[in-house]
Amino acid sequence: MSHGSFATIAGKIAAYTALLVITYLVCFPLIWALSTSLKPPSELSASPPHVIPQAPTVVNYGHLVTSDEKLSAIKMPFLGNFAGADRGIAPADVKTFESKLKEKNKDVDIKIYDGAQHAFMNPENKTGYDDASAKDAWSRIDAFFARTLR
């Protein structure tokens, strides 16, 4: 399956959703994903109906949660693909986030793509799309869902 268009991305999301409803983000803030994934079911009435707490989560951009209390509450497997040249998310912040999760023995896999810019996976991003990094990130996402949605 080609990963080159929004329609393809949407189709891939729909296919994974058919297996299990998941929290999946490409350009939405990570803080929303984590805060929603951490809510108990009784608090989800104000959340989108497709969100299940503690579902496997993929994040490519967004604000990183750093509070020990919030990080301790994370139960879901977590995959992150971040751009090394993203001006909004410093690689040092991503590394700190990852190390804090690993210290807490969380199921986390984060990769920083050196030289890649924000929205490097979006083929409509004429100045920042990085084909090689996008293909690798999609391969990681496919493998992550194959492992976590069994």
String of DSSP letters for 104-135? TT--EEEEEETTPPTTTT-TT-TTT--HHHHH
pLDDT at 26: 39
Residue 25 binned pLDDT confidence (cut-offs 50, 70, 90): very low
Nearest alpha-carbon partner for 140 in 33, 64, 60, 85: 60
Q: Please, what are the domains in the chain? A: 6-148 (3.40.50.1820)
- How high is the pLDDT of residue 29? 41
Distance in angstroms (rounded) separating the CA atoms of residues 123 and 65 = 28
Average pLDDT, the chain: 76
Q: Give the distance between the most distant pair of CA atoms in the chain.
A: 43
